[in-house]
Amino acid sequence: MQIRPRAARPVIGIGGVLTTATWGFWTQPAVLVAETYLSAVRVAGGSPVILPPADAADPADLLAAVDGVLLAGGNDVCADLYGQTAGVRMEEVTRERDLFELAIARYAFEHDVPVLGICRGLQILNVAAGGTLHQHLLDAGFAEHRPAPGRLDEAANHGLRVAPDSLLGRCGMAERCQVNSHHHQGVDTVGVGGRVVACSVPDGAVEAVEWPAQRFALGVQWHAESPAMPGIFDGFVRAAAERLSASAACEPSMARGAA
């Protein structure tokens, strides 16, 4: 087994978005991550790297290079991946990204890799654990959760009620606060092992799910990276650092065994 060199800071892999980008003279297919995610990870003490959507069959080699995984926001998740038929309210999907992120989420669950899901990232974690989604919250009787398209400022805010006895509560989000909102889908049936730890006020839509059996597995429906919520990112990166330290402590004995 080849052991990778260990960095002083935990490496956080962030799922990239497949898109077309223009720079200089070029307009080409690209993989991108918003700077807000990269900055939030850096400030919390992590080293961010972009994980480009690739063959979803076996993410083990790719995830061997990181200490934590962040699943970012984006478009809808293909309905058939959670056992439904796409309705008329479904918006743009990217199957390649869905399959890749579901694979790395399942790997994170199976191997206790710290994972944080933001907006769509929560939905991916929930589907990876066997849960389902509301394809359109308004059709399910919930409030409008995309009140200001393209904005994450005060115009997009709504109330939040958090369970204080939760990972999210320990990350500084106990009781009730304000968060932004920019989504039209949301968690319906919660995936295996998940616990709902935050709901929106006043409609009760699921806003956060955690998986208590894991070292750190948390999904939040709001955009905790913009503006960054340090408590959430600090807790996530700290868990990745602890995993890094534990892995480093094992390496000498593993190397002796290999010899």
- What tens digit of pLDDT does each residue of 61-115 get? 889 999 999 999 999 999 999 999 999 999 999 999 999 999 999 999 999 999 9
pLDDT at residue 5 is higher than 80 = no
Strand partners, 32: 17
Distance CA 73, CA 97 (A): 12
pLDDT at residue 223 is higher than 50 = yes
In the residue annotation, 225 being an active-site residue is answered as: yes
pLDDT of residue 251: 61
pLDDT of residue 164: 93
Catalytic residue among 101, 207, 210, 225: 225
DSSP-derived letter for residue 76 is: B
User: Is-contact 219 116, C-beta < 8 A?
Assistant: yes
Q: Is the peptide bond before 202 cis (omega within 30 degrees of 0)?
A: yes
pLDDT of residue 256: 39
Q: What size, in residues, is the chain?
A: 259
Residues 19-46 have a mean pLDDT of: 96
Q: List, in order of start, the domains of the chain with CATH numbers.
A: 11-135+184-198+205-258 (3.40.50.880)
Distance CA 244, CA 75 (A): 31
| 55: Cβ contacts below 8 Å, ≥ 6 apart | none
pLDDT at residue 126 is higher than 60 = yes
In the residue annotation, 207 being an active-site residue is answered as: no
Q: What is the mean pLDDT of the chain?
A: 92
CA distances from 36 to 41, 54, 80 (A): 9, 23, 31
**Stated pTM of the model:** 0.93
Residues 225-246 have a mean pLDDT of: 96
174: burial class by Cβ within 10 Å (0-12, 13-18, 19+)?
middle
User: Is-contact 53 31, C-beta < 8 A?
Assistant: yes
Place of tokens 């309905």: 79
Catalytic residue among 78, 101, 119, 184: 119
User: Is-contact 137 123, C-beta < 8 A?
Assistant: no
In the residue annotation, 101 being an active-site residue is answered as: no
Distance CA 94, CA 98 (A): 6
pLDDT of residue 258: 47
CB atoms under 10 Å from CB of 127, counted, come to: 23
